[in-house]
Amino acid sequence: MRDWLKPASAAEAAREAAGLEWLRAAPGGVRVVRVLEVSRDGLRLERVEPARPDAAAARACGAALARTHAAGAPGWGAPPPGATGEGFLGATVLPTPEEPPSAWGVFYAEHRVLPYLRLAVDAGALDTAGARVVERCADRLAEGALEADQPALVGDGVARLHGDLWSGNLLWTAVEGRAEAVLIDPAAHGGHAETDLAMLALFGAPHLAELLAGYQEVSPLAAGWQQRVGLHQLHPLLVHAALFGGGYGAQAVAAARRWA
C-alpha cells in the first residue's frame, strides 16, 4: 500500500499515533491503519485501498471489535499509554480526566455530556428548556442511575474504545480476495463498549446488523442495550450541535429526554 500524509500539529499527531498503536495492540482486534511516521507535519499512514464490504466481512469485524474492547483500559477516560495533551473529536477538544472517575456515569456526565452541552448552548443550538432536559439526564448519570453492565468479554473492566467510530472511520480493504475492516482516526480512551456501537448506528454503517451479530457471538451485550443506544449517542449529538447546529440540538434533547 502507498502512504498518505494526514496534516496535524505535532501534539495531535503524537496523540493519534498513540491511539492507533493502542488499538492495534488488542489481541485479535480490528485491523488498524499502520503509522509509518510521526512528524511536525502530521502522520504518515499506510493508504487503505477501498473494497466493498459484505455481510461476512461485517460479522468478522463485529467479532474483532469485541476483542478490541476486551483488551481493556486502566480507567474511565484513560488515554492511550504515552499519550500527552487532549484528544480531539472532530474540531472539539476531548477532555481527559485528571483522575479516573469512580464510575462510567460520572465520567460520561462530567467529561462528555456537560462540557459539550455548554458549547451547544453557547452556539445557540439548544434553548434553556432543552438544556435543562440534558442536565437532568446528566444528573441521573452522575448519580449512578443509568449504569449498565459491559459486554461479556469486558466483564467488570473498562473497554478499550476507538472513541469516534462512525462509519467514515471504519474503512474496508481487500485481503486475499475478501473484505476486511480497518480503523482510522480514533479518539481512543477507556469507556463503555456500547459507546462505539452506538456511534456506528448514529450515521449508519454497512451491514450493521451483521456486525452486531458477530459482536454478540463473541461477547454478548448486556440486556437492554438496544434501549441505551440513544443515551450513548447523546455526546456525539451534542458535539454536532455545537459544531453544526441545525437539528442536532433537538436530536440531543430527544435522546436525553428518555433518560431524564
**Mean pLDDT over each residue of the chain, to the nearest integer:** 92
Q: How confident is the model at residue 87 (pLDDT cuts 50, 70, 90)?
A: low
Does pLDDT of 1 surpass 50? no
CB burial string 214-238: b at 16+ within 10 A, e below: bbbebbebeeebeebbbbbbbbbbb
Give the pLDDT confidence score for residue 100 in this predicted structure.
84
Q: Mean per-residue pLDDT for 219-232?
A: 98
pTM as predicted: 0.93
Give the pLDDT confidence score for residue 14 in this predicted structure.
83
Q: How confident is the model at residue 9 (pLDDT cuts 50, 70, 90)?
A: confident
Residue with cell 505535532: 10
Does pLDDT of 60 surpass 70? yes
Does pLDDT of 2 surpass 50? no
Q: What is the pLDDT of residues 118-174, one digit of tens each?
A: 999 999 999 999 999 999 999 999 999 999 999 999 999 999 999 999 999 999 999
Q: Mean per-residue pLDDT for 57-74?
A: 98
Does pLDDT of 233 surpass 80? yes
Q: Mean per-residue pLDDT for 236-251?
A: 94
Q: How confident is the model at residue 40 (pLDDT cuts 50, 70, 90)?
A: confident
Domain 3-257: CATH class, spelled out:
alpha beta
